Amino acid sequence: MTALTQFERLETTGLWRESPEAQRRDVIVSFGKASLIIRDRTDTALTHWSLPAIERINPGQRPAMFEPGAESGETLELDDDTMITAIEKVRKTIARKKPRHGRVRLAILVSILSAIAALGVFWLPDALIRHTVSVVPDSTRLSIGNTLLDHLTRLTGETCRAGLGPAALSRLKARTLGDGLASSGSGAQARRLFVVPGGPQPTLSLPGQIIVLNQTLVEDYDTPAVAAGFILAATDPSTRVDPLRTLLDHAGLRATFGLLTTGHLDQAVLSDYAQVLLTQEAQDVDPESLLARFEAARIASSPYAYAKDITGEATLTLIEADPMRGQPAPRLLSDGDWISLQSICGE
């Protein structure tokens, strides 16, 4: 201790009282290694006061009075300014080096609160959304999907229902998602397909197993295999994100909590999300997984691949590994159904 080393040879006289009832005695006072040594005139040590325990009884007054702790009963009176200053300096030095339990507790408290805040910011929203997605019943999902479709069609135009087109679309869905894919959990019977006349995306997935197809998929190509390919991609379970999860990620914590507690989402939330859907980029699908679906459905993958990229460079895997390559693919629709589907949005 630097301060103690500085005063280790300092010595003075004072008046020491062993107890409140005892007489004061002339003593010699000096510093030890970690204590204040009080001796009588014969140089016999009467007591040692622990430096960290020494307290000043009368700050700012003379003679200065010290005690080795509030319960000791001993007192020491000093007039020597140098010794008084030395004791005060050593006491302050020791006090600075004592652990600040209050500060430690404060630091711990701040750390805990920071951890809780981080938990609230980063973990709670995701956990709440995941839980809500897992407990929302199919009927609520369907209701949300239908309402979202209503908001969406205000931007894309109403769903196309001309002539025999809806019946042909239903048969294309059954042919694409039925039979070979029924056992894969695709939920073909529960899905509903709609065609809309506008929008930048070829397909959109909505809660309630609703798939929205752009009119171009049935009007701009000479085979229903293109539309079938986009249906397979939109329902691929290996890369498909739950549409309700995507919606709640955008809607935020408040809307998610409202859905969890009331079973409803505000119209404003759905209206806003309908606009967002039209600006989102299409999600990439793992080609190997998609090829397996084409093979299970016995549908050629090349028409879909060239519709995605007319050069075929970005979809080369789907072209070279076409499961129907070199063999006739089973018919997707009759000629009459295909004509009806191409006319689903009318003239």
Which domain CATH number covers 49?
A: 2.30.29.30
Which positions ≥6 away from 344 have C-beta within 8 Å? 160, 161, 162, 163, 165, 166, 168, 169, 195, 215, 218
- Residues 149, 296 within the same domain: yes
- Residues 226, 107 within the same domain: no
- Residues 84, 218 within the same domain: no
Query: In sequence order, what DSSP letters do the residues of 45-64 get, joined into one string?
Result: EEEEEEGGG-EESSTT-SSE
Which positions ≥6 away from 54 have C-beta within 8 Å? 36, 66, 67, 68, 87, 91
Please tell me the total count of domains within the chain: 3
- Residues 24, 124 within the same domain: no
99-135 per-position pLDDT tens digit: 555 555 666 665 555 544 444 544 467 888 889 989 9
| Distance (Å, whole) CA 219 – CA 197 | 10
Range of the domain at 126: 99-135
Residue pair 294/300 in contact (Cβ under 8 Å)? The answer is yes
The model's confidence at residue 179, banded by pLDDT at 50, 70 and 90, is: low
- Tell me the β-bridge partners of 48: 37
- Residues 110, 218 within the same domain: no
- Tell me the β-bridge partners of 77: 15, 65
| Distance (Å, whole) CA 311 – CA 277 | 27
- The backbone torsions φ and ψ at residue 286, rounded to the nearest 5 degrees and listed phi first, read -60, 120
| Distance (Å, whole) CA 294 – CA 316 | 15
- Residues 321, 186 within the same domain: yes
180-235 per-position pLDDT tens digit: 454 444 444 478 999 999 888 899 999 999 999 999 999 999 999 999 999 999 99
User: What does pTM read for this prediction?
Assistant: 0.64
- Residues 193, 164 within the same domain: yes
The reply to whether 149 falls in a domain is yes
Which positions ≥6 away from 270 have C-beta within 8 Å? 144, 147, 148, 151
**Over residues 298-302, mean pLDDT:** 95
**Over residues 313-335, mean pLDDT:** 92
The reply to whether 347 falls in a domain is no
- Residues 40, 61 within the same domain: yes
241-271 per-position pLDDT tens digit: 899 999 999 998 889 989 999 999 999 999 9
The reply to whether 277 falls in a domain is yes
The reply to whether 89 falls in a domain is yes
